[in-house]
Amino acid sequence: MDNSSLKKFLVDHGWLEQERPNEMLFDLYLDPLEQNNLAKDQSYKKIKNELSSELEEWMEATKDPLASKK
């Protein structure tokens, strides 16, 4: 997140203290407001695994420092 006034507002109002799941997956067509996390839904397991693999490959290719923390 950049250093915008929105970041300051979110941090000042507890955004960093909010617990979030490690994995999140949303159907942006049916759920554009991202209200229903589908990461644990077995019917989305295949797409979640595909996206996870693509992310890992991209992180390795770009030498992302967070890759080792995954």
pLDDT band at 47 (very low <50, low <70, confident <90, very high): very high
User: Considering its fold, how many domains does the chain have in total?
Assistant: 1
pTM for this prediction: 0.67
Query: Which residues constitute the domain of residue 30?
Result: 5-69
- Local confidence band at 3 (pLDDT 50, 70, 90 cut-offs): confident
Q: Do the Cβ atoms of 62 and 54 come closer than 8 Å?
A: no
CB 25 within 8 A of CB 37: yes
Determine the pLDDT at residue 66: 85
Q: What whole-number distance in Å separates Cα of residue 35 and Cα of residue 51? A: 20
pLDDT(70) > 60? no
pLDDT tens digits for 5-24? 999 999 999 988 989 899 99
What is the average pLDDT across 18-39? 95
